[in-house]
A = this chain, B = another copy of it.
Amino acid sequence: MEFTSDNTTGAHPRIMAAIQAANNGRTPSYGDDPWTLAMERAFDDLFETETRSLAVATGIAANSIGLAACGGPGGVVLCHAESHIVTDECGAPTRLSDGLRLMPLPGDLGKLSADTVQDALADRFGHGVHSGRPMVLSITNLNEYGQAYTPAEIGALAEVAHSNGLKLHVDGARFANAVSHLGCTPAELTWKAGVDVMSFGGTKNGCWCAEAVVFFDRKAAETAPFIRMRAGHLLSKGRLLASQFIAYLEDGLWLELAGISNVRAAKLAAGLKASGKATLMADPMGNEVYAIWPKATGDRLRDAGALFYPWAVDPAGSDFRLQPGMELARLVTGFTTSEAEVEQLVGLVAAS
């Protein structure tokens, strides 16, 4: 019963096979190889448009490079108070850019509304150079609370962003889960709705380490190779990352795996609700379930060997308040999560 994260598993066999196949012979280093070129074309095909893409080994690198490429002196990134770039990246987006500042904004379930963004733009930049200048709006999709932004919601955010001169960035570490849940195309969920640049994640969904910065705004991509380089994030053997992405995108593997994760999460959510012994923060729209149960239930699960993280809710980011004696548990499923694991956890909760 492992529900701590979707990065505790290794790589899918087809990803491993791709790396193995890419290991033959010599090829130019630092991205001048056929695999990297093929990966770039695969992203074009996937998104049905000409993109610029750079592969890196971590999601933090991908987020930081994408944001940095859209930034400049005095730049500010508007984002949710509980977004990964704020809470879990130890300052990387600021360090790897020209000092971009993150401005945390509130919103239930980790989601930003267009109104919240509009208000922040109106209220918080009135002191000229003192306030800095807003340059990027960043959202996470699938977000940190397992909620998806729909194309319409993204369109509304893009409208606010673009009309104020900001780029729209998406942290898509779990983009596959969002696409799988919404049933739209990758294009509909990104550039067609106004997204300028995104992090396209593979590591949490079958790859060893494969994250890409994908630019739909190709002009914004111009400095990205330097930003990646000076951060030490250009791997010498480019085919290692590129071959993973090629296999990941081939024959819809990425959506197949995300679909499994989502189905497991949905089953878990349904089971918990049916148990009457837990409530959900919200119905999952991907592979993350946030359950509320008595601390005693949590203890019992831990005693039984279940692995998951209790979660602290940032009071600045949400109106959600946990009642005394209760525990908020984050339960993440992955493509290797079995039905049996889900059933076992639900059973333990039901019996609590």
Within 8 A of B (CB), among A107-143: 119, 122-124, 126-133
A226 to B29, CA, bound (A): 29
Out of B29, B56, B203, B229, name the residue touching A74 (CB < 8 Å). B229
Does A230 touch B at the CB level, under 8 Å?
Answer: yes
Quick one: given A27-B8, A231-B231, A233-B232, are A129 and B225 in contact (CB under 8 Å)? yes
Min Cβ gap A280→B in Å is: 21
CA A230 to CA B60, docked complex, whole Å: 9
A88 CB within 8 Å of chain B: yes
A2-B16 in contact given A74-B91, A91-B74, A230-B92 (Cβ < 8 Å): no
User: Bound state CA distance, A24 and B12, in angstroms?
Assistant: 10
A87 interface residue (CB < 8 Å to B) = yes
A264 at the interface (CB under 8 A from B): no
Q: Which residue of B lies closest to A10 (CB)?
A: B23
- Alpha-carbon gap, A53 to B237, bound state (A): 23
Cα separation A69 to B126 with both chains bound (whole Å):
23
Of B4, B228, B230, B237, which one neighbours A10 at CB under 8 angstroms? Answer: B237
Would you call B231 and A96 a contact (CB within 8 A)?
Answer: yes
Q: How many residues of chain A have a CB within 8 Å of chain B?
A: 85
Question: A146-178 vs B: 1/0 string, CB under 8 Å?
Answer: 000000000000000000000000000000000
A30→B95 CA distance, assembly (Å): 20
A234 touches B58 (CB 8 A): yes
B residues near A98, Cβ cutoff 8 Å: 73, 98-99
Q: Is the CB of A236 within 8 A of B23?
A: no
The complex is assembled from copies of this chain, and their number is: 4
Task: Report the stretch among A190-198, A285-293, A312-320, A343-351 that lies at the interface.
Answer: A312-320
User: Considering the chains assembled together, what is the distance between the CA atoms of A94 and B29 in angstroms?
Assistant: 24
Q: Are B105 and A316 in contact (CB under 8 A)?
A: yes
CB-based contact A57/B235 at 8 Å: yes
User: Does chain B have a CB within 8 A of A239?
Assistant: yes
Q: For residue A321, which residues in chain B have a CB less than 8 angstroms away from its CB?
A: none
A88-B131 contact in complex given A99-B95, A209-B237, A316-B106, C-beta closer than 8 Å: yes
> A58's closest neighbor in chain B, by CB?
B232
Which residue of B9, B24, B57, B95 is within 8 Å of A26 (Cβ)?
B9
The minimal Cβ–Cβ distance linking A30 to chain B, given in whole angstroms, is 8
Q: A74-B90, A203-B237, A236-B203 are in contact. Are A16 and B20 (CB under 8 A)?
A: yes
Q: Residue A232 contacts which of B61, B106, B126, B336 (CB distance < 8 angstroms)?
A: B61
Whether A237 contacts B7 by the Cβ 8 Å rule is yes
* CA distance in complex: A232, B95 (Å): 10
CB distance from A77 to the nearest CB of B (A): 11
What 9 new A-B contacts, CB under 8 Å, besides A90-B226, A90-B230, A203-B237?
A2-B26, A8-B28, A10-B24, A16-B19, A26-B336, A30-B128, A56-B232, A74-B91, A92-B232
Residue contacts A-B, CB under 8 angstroms, 14 given:
A7-B29, A10-B22, A10-B24, A19-B208, A26-B336, A68-B73, A73-B230, A87-B124, A91-B94, A91-B101, A94-B99, A209-B236, A231-B232, A233-B233
Which 9 interchain pairs have the tightest Cβ spacing? A74-B226, A60-B232, A10-B23, A98-B98, A61-B232, A123-B312, A129-B229, A7-B236, A73-B226
